[in-house]
Structure 1
Amino acid sequence: MKHLISKEGFEKYKAEWEQLKYVERPAMIAQVQAAAAEGDRSENAAYTYGRMRVREIDRRLRELDRILDGAQIIESSAPEDGSIRFGATVKLIDKKTRREKTYSIVGEKEIDPLKGRISMKSPIGTALVGKKTGETVQVQAPRGMIVYEILEVNY
């Protein structure tokens, strides 16, 4: 199944895959082999930890394979009409509290709400897509309806 991802997000996952595959995994394999050569494996913490770490690395590599294989890289460019699309960074102001927030609309595999990286399918992302600077959007949040004004859109 294809999923949208930014070029930066794809490169980040690719770099992680290469680090795990070509640096961390071979180092752990070497550590496990050295620990196994010491003898009794049942009480050898380095051997036990090394095997567990290799399994974790393999699990993450499989996950990264699925992400990278199913990725559809989207180049972010501003649409002619100035509307919000995938890859946009949007500056908003809460009409009630007057607090400003900035969100970047990214693929589902790249979200990080604490850094303001949200999916197009999130409630805020859904409300923003297709809107333009100066428009207002309403977002249903657990604490009630929030009304934002779009201050700025960048790509």
Structure 2
Amino acid sequence: MKGRNMSRWRDPAKDPRQAPKSNLITAEGAARLRGILDHLSRMKRPQISAKVGEAAAQGDRSENADYTYNKKELNRVIARIRYLTTRLEELQVVDRLPANTDKVFFGAFVKLEDEEGGTLEIRIVGHDETDTKKRWISIDAPMAKALLGKEVGDDITVLTPDGETFYTVTSVAYTAPSAG
């Protein structure tokens, strides 16, 4: 049986995509998601609904590309609103600093040095706020798991596609969370 929705079977017990994700998020990340939800609900959805209404008033909907496109866009926006509403209810906002700010925990900005002396700066954040350009990694990522509980001077080993990579923690910092 072939089809466009067929994909290779993966054992759910071994598939990393099936692993439960943590429901942690920083106060800034939660505020950003609430802002997106507000924009979609109060601005984007009414605009697209008006476009759908205008296109529907033109007559035959079966051959009306404007109606078809805007209806699909409206459904996409509604699905995103539904997802964000559900996700924000599930999330646990971390709005305080850890008791020991010398160790790596959720929300930490960490500087690492590799064997060649190169530096890497990352931040450990929730799954919903990861950003490769900013080097914000999920708390569920292997590197973040290896870093949790470490402090300046500790060594970690991370398995990468190129093999094992060794890092030394050179700095751990936190910013005071803003009330969101």
Q: TM-score scaled to structure 1, two decimals?
A: 0.93
The alpha-carbon deviation at position 67 of structure 1 amounts to 1.4
Partner of 1:137, secondary structure, is strand
* Structure 2 unmatched runs, 5+: 1-20, 175-180
1:67-82 matched pairs, under 5 angstroms: 67-80=87-100, 82=102
Q: 1:86 aligns with which of 96, 106, 109?
A: 106
CA distance in 2, matches of 1:94, 1:114: 20
The alpha-carbon deviation at position 59 of structure 1 amounts to 1.1
Partner amino acid for 1:34? E
1:1-155 matched pairs, under 5 angstroms: 3-80=23-100, 82-95=102-115, 97-155=116-174
2:4 maps to none
Partner amino acid for 1:104? R
Asked if the contact 2:22–2:126 (Cα under 8 Å) also holds between the matched residues in 1, the reply is: no
CA distance in 1, matches of 2:103, 2:22: 24
* Structure 1 unmatched runs, 5+: none
Structure having the higher strand fraction is 1
Partner amino acid for 2:161? P
CA distance in 1, matches of 2:139, 2:55: 48
Give deviations 1:7-50, integer Å, cap 9, x for gaps.
01101110000100110000000000011111111221211111
CA distance in 2, matches of 1:22, 1:33: 17
Identical residues among aligned pairs (%): 35
Q: Spell out structure 1 runs of 4+ moving beyond 3 A.
A: none
The alpha-carbon deviation at position 79 of structure 1 amounts to 3.3
The alpha-carbon deviation at position 80 of structure 1 amounts to 2.8
Query: How many residue pairs are counted as aligned between the two chains?
Result: 154
Structure having the higher helix fraction is 1
Cα RMSD, aligned residues only: 1.6
